[in-house]
Structure 1
């Protein structure tokens, strides 16, 4: 009985203590005085690549939503900075200039109400020409695979700044917030070589013998979904094996288009690897020489498809 009274006493005391703590703490939490921040929710990434073949017509364009305690009204300015980046094989990343430079400043006047949310929104475009001028480069300095890093700095009326350095991981990457304060605009080289072409093959030779005359036929370049700019060819020998009474069969050879520079990769059913050298290129035809590791070779003239001129290839 003494033990039960003792236990009950401890329990009652604990309840009083917890109750008193709760009553003491809650009224003193400054709910109305929390320091709230601001961020820029990405509503639309209208354009986030530069076309290597059309830099003058390329742009970086976003729609942003200013989210803060006043539905976007605390935003004073948004500085947009840019920096060019290139990966140098065996060296690392090279930046031009060494630090991001200002390319555009948005003000409160650039933000306006919308009919989809209560927050103010803005849409803007920065052309590739503007970005190049800001970083001190010309179109001839650019290569496919280069990257322009755009970074945003939100300055509010309280004198605070929010940027890629102080944004939390959740705000930057979570779909709801979508506010990285940083956007990578890649210089891409769109490739559109897929389709069926007429060809003629000459100068076919190998250690096993030559193939006199000319072979005419068609070949299909089938885009490889997992490798943009890569095309699987119907026959890597372009009919040369017909001279042997052989067939292409299960060979897997690709022609790769990297900003107009063509390479050939892959192997035939015997394991021989393939390469190519472009002899000449025009909108009407492409002439190249293929070679495999078994010493087989041939020269191919590929005709442009009707109504679809070939790009500048090398």
Structure 2
């Protein structure tokens, strides 16, 4: 038994020794003959929205890094292609054109060394005007909520092309690679209606008229939404009296179209309509499912005029 254990120990030691020496053996796998590709790492998304109210000065802009076996040296051109997308309620997505159109081409000379990495980088900017023209539309055709799909096609000197149709999910989505080859640029309507306003209640369900103060607090998780400090604009206090308490009612700004959502502490939901809008005064009527209602004139705040709200 001792002999067997001793022999087994010698065998184990020999295996350990041989395995420890394995690192010094030149492998037979031809690593130098592996085929390698290329991708565009996203360094900075400088601008990825178009402002519906200022399309003439909106742009899509990125900083990219070309990554390949030659630190970006195999890149010949990068095509920037675009198409317009709109969601039609009850129908689905509508694309213009069906196949994306070429809007610009980056040349090899557009990529240059940088001080932060060994790879070549480039920065580019595509104006909204150029993107709109490339898809065959005009400024008047664009609506809030539209999306411009920009797709990049990297062509190297070996005749190969890399884009969103042949990139893996790991390369496209992983933070290290950050190379989706496709970027969705939404047409947005910036909203800046937060603040504390003076108002006059000209009509209420109990007949009271009065003046007061209302605060619209921006909802960080939902741009364009504002929580009201009192969904009844003080009507409960004047008519019962009662306090607003834990109610959660919001005014939502969708490209200057206002709506009211949410419920009060009793569970009744709210809605509103815009009666009129001037730079100085916003007149709106609210109501809830309990049958309460009111009309208020909300004054502009600190000289900041109201936009053309509907």
Structures share fold, TM-score greater than 0.5? yes
1:98 aligns with 2:93: no
For residue 294 of structure 1, the aligned residue among 267, 290, 296 is 290
Shift of the alpha carbon at 1:250? 2.2
Shift of the alpha carbon at 1:255? 0.7
Query: Counterparts of 1:43-58 in structure 2 under 5 Å?
Result: 43-58=43-58
Shift of the alpha carbon at 1:28? 4.2
Q: State how far apart, in whole Å, the 1-side matches of 2:73 and 2:221 are.
A: 45
Shift of the alpha carbon at 1:220? 0.3
Partner of residue 181, structure 1:
181
Is residue 211–residue 240 contact of structure 1 (8 Å, CA) maintained in 2?
Answer: no
Shift of the alpha carbon at 1:189? 1.6
Partner of residue 65, structure 1:
65
Residue-pair matches, total: 298
Partner of residue 230, structure 1:
225
For residue 239 of structure 2, the aligned residue among 235, 243, 261 is 243
Partner of residue 276, structure 2:
280
Q: State how far apart, in whole Å, the 2-side matches of 1:238 and 1:33 are.
A: 74
1:261 aligns with 2:241: no
Q: Deviations over 1:106-151 (max 9, x none)?
A: 0001111111111111100001111101111122222222111100
TM-score normalized with structure 1 length: 0.88
Shift of the alpha carbon at 1:307? 2.7
Shift of the alpha carbon at 1:27? 5.6
Once the two structures are overlaid, the 10-residue window that deviates more, 151-160 or 245-254, is 245-254
Partner of residue 190, structure 2:
190
Is residue 221–residue 232 contact of structure 1 (8 Å, CA) maintained in 2?
Answer: yes
Partner of residue 84, structure 1:
84
Partner of residue 144, structure 2:
144
For residue 216 of structure 2, the aligned residue among 218, 221, 225 is 221
SS of equivalent to 1:219: strand
TM-score normalized with structure 2 length: 0.89
SS of equivalent to 2:171: helix
Q: Deviations over 1:197-241 (max 9, x none)?
A: 000011212xxxx324x2101000011222221111111111222
Once the two structures are overlaid, the 10-residue window that deviates more, 97-106 or 267-276, is 267-276
What value does the CA root-mean-square deviation take over the aligned residues? 2.2
SS of equivalent to 1:90: coil
Shift of the alpha carbon at 1:26? 5.9
SS of equivalent to 1:211: coil
Distance 1:298 1:156, change over 3 A: same
SS of equivalent to 2:140: helix
After the TM superposition, which segments of 4 or more aligned residues of structure 1 sit over 4 Å from their partners? Answer: 25-28
Once the two structures are overlaid, the 10-residue window that deviates more, 301-310 or 85-94, is 85-94
Q: Where does the alignment leave 5 or more consecutive residues of structure 2 unmatched?
A: none
SS of equivalent to 2:48: strand
Shift of the alpha carbon at 1:270? 2.2
Q: State how far apart, in whole Å, the 2-side matches of 1:29 and 1:236 are.
A: 72
Q: Where does the alignment leave 5 or more consecutive residues of structure 1 unmatched?
A: none
Partner of residue 154, structure 1:
154
